[in-house]
């Protein structure tokens, strides 16, 4: 898939934004369903929440927070590029978006463990 | 490449009844050899039926673009030594365009979209009017100046994945041209341009992947021009709601 | 003009969500300390008009944003066109909106 004409930072920023977007969209229905258990069966919700104590689940949560952060930062970069006249330094901004996302999700992970 | 090699392993795309396939040629290595030199050598020494297109040979006319080892390039200004991988070179017709024969593509869709994007001058004066004075330091003029060095080579069009996935998409070159005209004080078609690039397949089909800017041999940035159009269409969108 | 409308809806929903996402991440980092429990979450959200507005807005914006985003991908990658594409986008919107509204109701209603 990564053919020669695609091997540059902004294409990677694009594919990261697309993949994180799809992953978040697929995760949302599950997220909503688990939360709505609060009303229908609170004990099952607590069951799910205890599940989050497992390390593997914590790593999965870290990945989700990273996807959310990277989709947010990547999106803000796009908005700045398109609606503010910020055309130069796009590669730096794209790298910065990933960096900030790692920081945010890292903080989350450290709090979680 | 190895220092002992005297020839290049060149794979060239050849059309046939079922579509096409790569054909191998051994081409003698020469000093300061360009990809266009390689193609010309094959056509002159190995197979006179090889079809390709070129004109100026000095990076002015935009005729000789081809895919070289998977990337679109102006072959007359691309040195073999800069792009060679091992001892191999793969030369194919430009991506995203119909192939006429071998390495020659049909550029009609590219130029049709250029017109569809209103990338044509919309005059505002007659020959009797005084010539408009342009301030070369104005914001609009500097925006336009950045984009006018385009040579219509279609390299950005071949590099763009939005062009491959969205049939109607006007593409980076046409939209870059629309942006330079939008910023041209002498052009009277600003609204016409905005309408054209707001239609389906216009500037909003771009995902800012930046392959156009990466590939442009003249180091233009069509992605930034398209961002400018997105900004202006968004402004017009809000202005229209208000009025 | 569909492209322009979808583009604007996509960007506006994104701008609405930007502060909400930051708030959501901040709450998550705060809430996850010492583990998660239903009681803790519901204690914060139940009967709170503020949280209902926060997450209600979030659900509307994300349903619009995800529907347009997935519509683009369905068109470009799966080749969906015409009315099939429109139906696809509406189904994504409705599923997310209905499930999201249920979730917000479940955690904020008293």
All structural domains of chain A:
14-112 (1.20.1300.10)
Domain boundaries, chain B: 7-105, 108-242
Supply the range of the domain harboring residue C10.
Answer: 2-108
User: HSE of A74 in the Cβ direction (CA atoms, 13 Å)?
Assistant: 24
**pLDDT at residue B147 is higher than 80:** yes
CB of B21 within 8 Å of any CB in chain A? no
Alpha helix stretches (DSSP H) within chain B: 35-45, 80-83, 108-116, 139-147, 155-159, 161-165, 172-182, 190-198, 211-215, 222-242
CATH number at residue C84: 1.20.1300
What pLDDT is attached to residue A109?
76
Query: How far apart are alpha carbons B146 and C98 in whole angstroms?
Result: 48
pLDDT for the residue numbered A81: 87
pLDDT band (50, 70, 90) for residue B45: very high
Instruction: Give me the mean pLDDT over the B120-125 stretch.
Output: 92
Q: Tell me if B210 and A4 make a contact (CB, 8 A cut-off).
A: no
> Domain B7-105's class?
alpha beta
For chain C, how many structural domains are there in total? 1
Tell whether the model's pLDDT for residue A68 goes beyond 50: yes
What's the confidence (pLDDT) of residue B1?
46
Tens of each residue's pLDDT in chain C, 110 residues: 689 999 999 999 999 999 999 999 888 888 877 777 778 888 888 888 999 999 999 999 999 999 999 999 999 999 999 999 999 999 999 999 999 999 999 989 87
B210-221: average pLDDT: 96
Q: What is the mean pLDDT of chain B?
A: 94
Q: What percent of chain B has pLDDT over 90?
A: 88
Contact state of B208 with A78 under an 8 Å Cβ cutoff:
yes
A82 and B70: CB-CB below 8 Å?
no
Give a three-class secondary structure readout of chain A. Answer: CCCHHHCCHHHHHHHHHHHHHHHHHHHHHHHHHHHHHHHHCHHHHHHHHHHCCCHHHHHHHHHHHHHHHHHHHHHHHHHHHHHCCCCCCHHHHHHHHHHHHHHHHHHHHHHHC
Average pLDDT for A94-110: 80
The mean per-residue pLDDT over the stretch B169-174 comes to 98
Say what the pLDDT of residue C47 is.
Answer: 85
Cβ-defined contact of C103 to A18 (cutoff 8 Å): no
Lowest mean pLDDT among A102-106, B166-170, C57-61: A102-106
User: Mutate which of A10, A85, A88, A91 to test chain B, going by most B C-beta atoms within 10 A?
Assistant: A10
Residue B24 has pLDDT above 50, yes or no: yes
Which range has the top average pLDDT, A49-63, B165-179, C18-32? B165-179
When the candidates are 3.40.50.300, 2.60.40.10, 1.10.1060.10, 1.10.230.10, the CATH number that belongs to B108-242 is: 1.10.1060.10
The residue among C25, C33, C37 with the most chain A CBs within 10 A of its CB, best to mutate, is: C25
Of A51 and B16, which is predicted with more confidence? B16
Residue A59 pLDDT > 50: yes
Structure ipTM: 0.92
């Amino acid at each position: 898939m990564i053919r020669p004409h695609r091997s540059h930072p902004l294409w990677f920023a694009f594919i990261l934004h697309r993949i994180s977007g799809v992953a978040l969209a697929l995760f949302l229905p599950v997220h909503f369903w688990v939360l709505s258990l609060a009303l229908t069966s609170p004990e099952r919700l607590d069951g799910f929440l205890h599940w989050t104590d497992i390390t593997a689940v914590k790593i999965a949560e870290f990945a989700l927070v990273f996807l959310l952060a990277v989709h947010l930062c990547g999106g803000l970069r796009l908005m700045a590029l398109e609606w503010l006249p910020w055309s130069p330094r796009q590669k730096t901004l794209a790298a910065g978006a990933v960096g900030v996302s790692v920081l945010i999700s890292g903080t989350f992970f450290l709090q979680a463990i | 490449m190895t220092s002992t090699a005297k020839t290049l392993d060149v794979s060239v795309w050849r059309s046939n009844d079922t579509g096409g396939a790569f054909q191998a040629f051994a081409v003698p290595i020469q000093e300061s050899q360009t990809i266009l030199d390689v193609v010309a050598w094959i056509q002159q020494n190995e197979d006179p039926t090889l079809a390709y297109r070129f004109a100026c040979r000095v990076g002015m006319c935009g005729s000789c673009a081809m895919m070289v080892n998977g990337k679109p390039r102006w072959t007359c200004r691309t040195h073999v030594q800069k792009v060679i991988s091992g001892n191999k070179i793969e030369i194919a017709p430009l991506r995203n365009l119909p192939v006429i024969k071998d390495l020659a593509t049909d550029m009609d869709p590219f130029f049709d979209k250029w017109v569809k994007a209103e990338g044509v001058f919309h005059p505002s004066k007659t020959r009797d009017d005084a010539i408009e004075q342009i301030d070369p330091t104005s914001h609009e003029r500097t925006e336009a100046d950045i984009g006018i060095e385009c040579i219509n080579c279609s390299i950005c069009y071949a590099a763009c994945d939005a062009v491959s996935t969205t049939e109607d998409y006007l593409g980076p070159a046409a939209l870059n041209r629309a942006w330079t005209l939008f910023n041209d004080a002498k052009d009277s078609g600003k609204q016409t341009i905005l309408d054209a690039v707001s239609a389906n397949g216009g500037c909003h089909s771009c995902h800012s992947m930046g392959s156009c800017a990466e590939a442009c041999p003249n180091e233009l940035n069509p992605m930034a021009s398209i961002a400018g159009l997105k900004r202006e269409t968004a402004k017009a969108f809000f202005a229209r709601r208000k009025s | 003009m569909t492209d322009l409308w979808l583009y604007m809806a996509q960007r506006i929903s994104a701008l609405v969500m930007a502060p909400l996402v930051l708030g959501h991440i901040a709450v998550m980092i705060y809430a996850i300390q010492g583990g998660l429990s239903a009681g803790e979450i519901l204690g914060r959200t139940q009967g709170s008009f503020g949280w209902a507005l926060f997450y209600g807005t979030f659900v509307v914006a994300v349903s619009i944003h995800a529907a347009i985003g997935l519509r683009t991908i369905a068109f470009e990658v799966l080749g969906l066109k015409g009315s099939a594409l429109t139906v696809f986008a509406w189904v994504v919107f409705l599923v997310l909106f209905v499930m999201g509204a249920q979730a917000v109701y479940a955690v904020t209603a008293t």
